[in-house]
Amino acid sequence: MKRHIIPILAFCLLSGSLSYAQSSVDALAKARTAVENAKAEAAPDARQIVYTLKAFNDPDGRLVVGGLTSEASAKEAAVKALEAAGVEYIDSIMVLPSDRWAMTRISAASHRGAGRHAAEMLTQSVMGTPLRVLESNGEWWWVQTPDGYIAYVPSTSVVPKTSEEMAAWRSAKRFIVTSPYQIRAYTSPTSNGVRDVVTDLVNGCIVTAVGGAPKVENGRLHIELPDGRTGYADASALTPLEEWAAQPFDADKILDTAYSMEGTPYLWGGMSTKALDCSGLAKVSYYANGIILMRDASQQALTGKRIEASDWRTCQPGDLLFFGNAKTKKITHVAIYDHNGNYVHSSGRVKRNSVDPDSPSYLTTPFLHAVRINGMEETPGIIRARNHPWYF
């Protein structure tokens, strides 16, 4: 009988090992499914939420869930999903900071898909735009814009701000450039020379009044830029931020802003009156009316009140028209509707065309659907600046 003890014991040990290994594999599979389910629920758009959570076994065979997310709510969703899956794990999830700030210090800063100048330009921010800083290492800072878009910006294009400085800025006497055309800030109330320029300013740039109270000399307002530089800019081109933010919906303001850029060159990722892409035109034009839209056309297309392409005659001025692939329904272009089928858009340059097949200005790019922004403010993807906590 003794000769059978060792084989039987070995079989028992092997069976236990196999059972443990299978249990470990099952737990890892459940954890990975839970993490992916949480991503689909809480972080479906990588353009707006960082979510690199992964489940894995460490060298000691322990189940670990680690990675980065920009939102505490995304981690909470992952933890909830893991608990529902009934797995035990080591929590190595890092939530990026939500209390670190910066502000754009130049008239139009380029934000790229990676921390290098050769990377694709994804978007831009204009001077005075508040930015959430996710990481600030070296030459490139990883930031999030007020519309939620995440990208890399050169450190030279921004200035860091503490939470206290941001709070002071929100209560300061601020002005926004409402001129549709580029202006200049000069070194004095009367200087006009090319060597007297402090900076250029474009529509949407935000500055503050020097000394806390507006002071106008020779028709120029004494202003302070986000990085502390001061200058004098045409007071008629600036509007108190509270007044700008209090605007009601105004389709004419939106369309006038768009038409003022007619002929302006198309620029992939561009989002200022200097040069812009199709969704940039929609954003800049709506921002002139105090409304913050999503960044990309594919994101904008999921907001507002949907209008089917066949019902285009019911469209109203300011509605957004979306174009793309007729088979896949992938959105590739957006325009701003005016009237009688006419619209303004950025394609090669800012120009006018028509959605009416009988119009000589008709373009054959498939028109997929439209959305109405008017009356849909404060629904997902559409927010007035006056209600955005980064501004007020």
Mean pLDDT check: name the lowest of 14-23, 199-208, 327-336: 14-23
pLDDT for 380: 97
pLDDT for 370: 98
pLDDT at 14 over 90: no
- Contact (Cβ atoms closer than 8 angstroms) between residue 323 and residue 332: yes
pLDDT at 245 over 90: yes
pLDDT at 346 over 70: yes
Mean pLDDT check: name the lowest of 15-29, 52-66, 375-389: 15-29
Mean pLDDT of the chain: 94
The CA distance from 189 to 166, in Å, is 28
Q: Which of 111, 222, 345, 369 is catalytic?
A: 345
What's at 310, amino acid-wise? S
C-alpha distances out from residue 260 to 248, 272, 344, Å: 20, 12, 11
pLDDT for 25: 85
Q: Which of 111, 278, 315, 369 is catalytic?
A: 278
pLDDT for 22: 53
Whether 12 is catalytic: no
% pLDDT > 70, the chain:
94
Whether 333 is catalytic: yes
Q: What is the pTM of this model?
A: 0.91
pLDDT for 9: 40
229: helix, coil or strand? Answer: coil
139-170 burial, b if ≥16 CB within 10 A, otherwise e?
A: ebbbbbbbbbbbbbbbbebbbebeeeeeeebe
Whether 369 is catalytic: no
- Contact (Cβ atoms closer than 8 angstroms) between residue 101 and residue 163: yes
Q: Which of 111, 222, 333, 369 is catalytic?
A: 333
The CA distance from 99 to 370, in Å, is 37
